[in-house]
Structure 1
Amino acid sequence: MTRPEPASYYAATASPRPARPPLEGSLSVDVAIVGGGFTGLSAALELAERGYKVALLEAETVGWGASGRNGGQVNTGYRKGPGELVAMFGRDQARRLWALSEEAKQMIRDRVARHGIACDLKPGSLYAVLKEEELGEIDGDLEVLRTQLGYDQAAHVDRAGMAERLGTTLYRGGLADAGALHLHPLNYALGLAAAAEKAGARIFEDTRATKIDPAGHGAETARGRVTARFTLVACNAYLEGLLPALEPRILPISNYIIATEPLGPARARSLIRDDVAVCDSKFVVNYYRLSADHRLLFGGGEVYTRRDPRDIKRFVRPHMLRVYPQLADARLDYGWGGRLAVTMSRLPNIGRLAGDLFYAQGFSGQGVALTGIAGRVIAEAMAGQAERFDIMARIPHRAFPGGPLLRHPAQILGMLWYAMRDRL
């Protein structure tokens, strides 16, 4: 039996979904995929369109994890800034990585149009800077974007411009990105699932993988088995012991979002004039946008234990009111949380453990876009065209220190330090 959906705005406004039965018995396919989030669904669609027989195993329901709970922001690039990318990889390799991230955004536009996915896709984002000393970083990033990476859709916004666009005087300046997007993530996931099934993929829900063949030739479940030529493990923060070799490379972090009551078009646009997605410069980032029915969806706050707050609405509300004190009278209709996975480098961890066993994880808050391109390049590699897969697989990664017993306490100390810096 699947665990219940989170009581989220997305679940309450989800598109109709078919009942997908669990796997019963044995099945032989070309590719077994474990995980029904963006990565697994993207790979399933790509592979099915290439003519591969695909079986996707999802422990709960499609989009149950981070893919159906996140802020819906399709941001440009990676969690590392453009200057950091060039410094880390050199100009040529940074340009290759950047091109993949740009393709990731275009994939979303193309898939929504091609498959008629109703996910309220909208353009634009604002990066909102809280401290004067951070403004120089924006100018440096813009210079790298234009001269090193060939990206010209971002522009500096001064303090007055931020106040006009966002209805708050909190920010010292910012970066407007016309090339970014935002969407209803659960409906996008459901649309990908429908497209993959139409292309011939089979999706099994309530089907938790209990064992992965170490050579990548299938997976076992409580009630069946899939034999495959290739296997992709795409569980991200919800690995839960399935592949212990992968877990040291990621840290699951809990994140929380609230949704106000419908505010009406005028009041909603007084908060975000241009209906773009917003994220700020805090390490424990605040992020927010408007929904199709004129609610403010606001994510923020940090938790340093494995337990969720008892009252998520009450927990996130002070962060919202710091930005928008004028919403003190607004009712909160939804509050929910979920887990994402970050890596030490804050770059995605994509690769293979054996010749036929692939994995993708650790998108570090940039997963709405980057999961799509991860699924595509993994599909290419399975088809014998590994050049683009290798670009991402060669990103170096270190395990988090401390081993399984000390990893979480070390994370707490690190997050406390950065949270303290946010308040200085």
Structure 2
Amino acid sequence: MALNLLHANDRAGEYPASWYAATADTFPEYAPLTGEMRADVVVVGAGYTGLSAALHLAEAGMDVALIEAQRVGFGASGRNGGQLGSGQRMDQQGLERLMGDADAAKLWELAEDAKALVKSLITKHNIDCHLKPGIAEACFSAGEVAHEHTYADHLAQRYGYDQLQKLDREQMQALCPSPAYHGGVLDMGAAHLHPLRYALGLARAAKAAGVRIYERSEVTGIDEGARALVHTTTGRISADHVILACNGYLGGLNGKVASRVMPINNFIAATKPLGEDAARVLTQDVAIADTKFVVNYFRLSHDKRLLFGGGESYGYRFPADIEALVRKPMTQIFPHLRDVQIDYAWGGTLAITIKRMPYLARIAPNILSASGYSGHGVGSATHAGKLMADAVAGQAAGFDTMASVPATPFPGGAALRTPLLILAMTWYSLRDRLGV
């Protein structure tokens, strides 16, 4: 039997012992779904995708039930690096080659809409999640710097995007004094935030809009039909429409989605508060993502901790010593932090696709799915939820544009996930070490 990632690495019904959980607002508990119920729409999964879908559907006047196997924001939405990046996960030049200039332009516009949506939801619903502008792409060689600068010019000329500042080595060192980096690009149109506080804020907004939220209600199956029937461990509910918003925790609910979306794990550590030494990591309150295939990403928390994400994972079980796993790449970037105290270290499960683009699909006439955000989910997942809500309401243009991106199944489908993951991580980590 395949490993169920809902239960593989975490205690049932509990958030991980992360810095995010330690600094979030109180967690309201929602009762499980019990007995027989009805709704206009059932949304499965209470991460960014499901929370956004449920909120927008309720605001459109629909009766919405949001079902979560664990807790609101339990998965990647409550554990990630908190980066709200620009564009799609695949860069625009890749999308131009894949989709043509016209469709690539539509995808750029949708990505800009995604950033704007997150910012507007935070403002509209007064979500206190420490939203701050700025993400820098940090490069390891002069060749990478030249490539990023050329791409910045392309975005300015083709799409009119003027939020990018090209950084040479001296400018990058002034921003991020790591000996590893040779330059890069600073995107002040991007942003970073506290991901769990954002998820919990969306849940409060959804509840206020009338969404019925059920936690600890794992979905075990869905009977398709004109009125779908969603079975959970504690009850069942029928609905005119179903939205699957499960990302890396889909399990075996739908084979078509599972064959195209692969779960992977990632890890983050939070150091002790660095105080004045924080300036030896970052001199501005921006986030960093670098150009490694197994990407390092980091930022300072509002209490001046370094939140550092990285490390290779060769399977679906979290390692016994997450702190040691993350400390290795952190020390490569910041050698002076070799012995720094780490107060929190945690893992989480996201999901990728072969082309690193989200997989949006209509898997039955009244069942929609969105997942596979490939590390770009703060904006993409929030936006995908809205696109699915719009599609349920009969306005499917944005959903159809995203669904038109070719989605190649992984070889062997879900059955070969673990060996494929091991093979892929071995290959990508080798490329990082060789610098190719």
TM-score normalized by the length of structure 1: 0.97
User: How is 1:368-379 mapped onto 2 (pairs within 5 angstroms)?
Assistant: 368-379=378-389
Among candidates 317, 320, 344, match of residue 310 of structure 1? 320
Q: Residue 391 of structure 1: CA displacement? A: 0.5
User: How is 1:13-412 mapped onto 2 (pairs within 5 angstroms)?
Assistant: 13-215=23-225, 217-264=228-275, 266-412=276-422
Q: Which moved more, 1:307-316 or 1:31-40?
A: 307-316
Q: Residue 3 of structure 1: CA displacement? A: 3.7
Percent identity (aligned) = 48
Q: After TM superposition, what 4+ stretches of structure 1 lie above 6 angstroms from structure 2?
A: none
Is the Cα–Cα contact under 8 Å of residues 74 and 180 in structure 1 kept in the other structure? Answer: yes
Is the Cα–Cα contact under 8 Å of residues 218 and 229 in structure 1 kept in the other structure? Answer: no
Instruction: Give the distance between the partners of 1:217 and 1:150, measured in 2 at CA.
Output: 44
Is the Cα–Cα contact under 8 Å of residues 91 and 148 in structure 1 kept in the other structure? Answer: no
Instruction: Give the distance between the partners of 1:419 and 1:329, measured in 2 at CA.
Output: 24
TM-score normalized by the length of structure 2: 0.95
Tell me, what secondary structure is at the counterpart of 1:231?
strand
Q: Which moved more, 1:38-47 or 1:208-217?
A: 208-217
Is the Cα–Cα contact under 8 Å of residues 139 and 184 in structure 2 kept in the other structure? Answer: yes
Q: Residue 24 of structure 1: CA displacement? A: 1.1
Q: Residue 214 of structure 1: CA displacement? A: 2.2
Is the Cα–Cα contact under 8 Å of residues 218 and 230 in structure 1 kept in the other structure? Answer: no
Q: Residue 408 of structure 1: CA displacement? A: 2.6
Structure 1 gaps of 5+ residues are none
Q: Residue 213 of structure 1: CA displacement? A: 2.3
Q: Residue 142 of structure 1: CA displacement? A: 1.3
Q: Residue 218 of structure 1: CA displacement? A: 3.5
Q: Which moved more, 1:360-369 or 1:1-10?
A: 1-10
Instruction: Give the distance between the partners of 1:395 and 1:80, measured in 2 at CA.
Output: 11
Structure 2 gaps of 5+ residues are 1-10
Is the Cα–Cα contact under 8 Å of residues 149 and 184 in structure 2 kept in the other structure? Answer: no
Instruction: Give the distance between the partners of 2:391 and 2:239, measured in 1 at CA.
Output: 15
RMSD after superposition: 1.3
Q: Residue 270 of structure 1: CA displacement? A: 3.1
Tell me, what secondary structure is at the counterpart of 1:187?
helix
Q: Residue 82 of structure 1: CA displacement? A: 2.0
For residues 354-379 of structure 1, the C-alpha deviation after alignment (integer angstroms, 9 at most, x for no partner) is: 11000001000000110111011111
Tell me, what secondary structure is at the counterpart of 1:171?
coil
Q: Residue 310 of structure 1: CA displacement? A: 0.8
Instruction: Give the distance between the partners of 1:53 and 1:75, measured in 2 at CA.
Output: 32
Question: Which amino acid in structure 2 is aligned with residue 383 of structure 1?
Answer: A
The alignment covers a number of residue pairs equal to 423
Question: Which amino acid in structure 2 is aligned with residue 111 of structure 1?
Answer: L
Question: Which amino acid in structure 1 is aligned with residue 251 of structure 2?
Answer: E
For residues 296-331 of structure 1, the C-alpha deviation after alignment (integer angstroms, 9 at most, x for no partner) is: 000011111222111111111121111112223421
Is the Cα–Cα contact under 8 Å of residues 38 and 238 in structure 2 kept in the other structure? Answer: yes
Instruction: Give the distance between the partners of 2:308 and 2:185, measured in 1 at CA.
Output: 19
- CA 1:199–1:405 in structure 2 vs 1: closer, same or farther (change >3 Å)? closer
For residues 92-130 of structure 1, the C-alpha deviation after alignment (integer angstroms, 9 at most, x for no partner) is: 111111111111111111111111111111110100001
Instruction: Give the distance between the partners of 1:166 and 1:423, measured in 2 at CA.
Output: 22
Is the Cα–Cα contact under 8 Å of residues 31 and 231 in structure 1 kept in the other structure? Answer: yes
Is the Cα–Cα contact under 8 Å of residues 17 and 344 in structure 2 kept in the other structure? Answer: yes
Is the Cα–Cα contact under 8 Å of residues 288 and 298 in structure 2 kept in the other structure? Answer: yes
Instruction: Give the distance between the partners of 1:21 and 1:334, measured in 2 at CA.
Output: 29
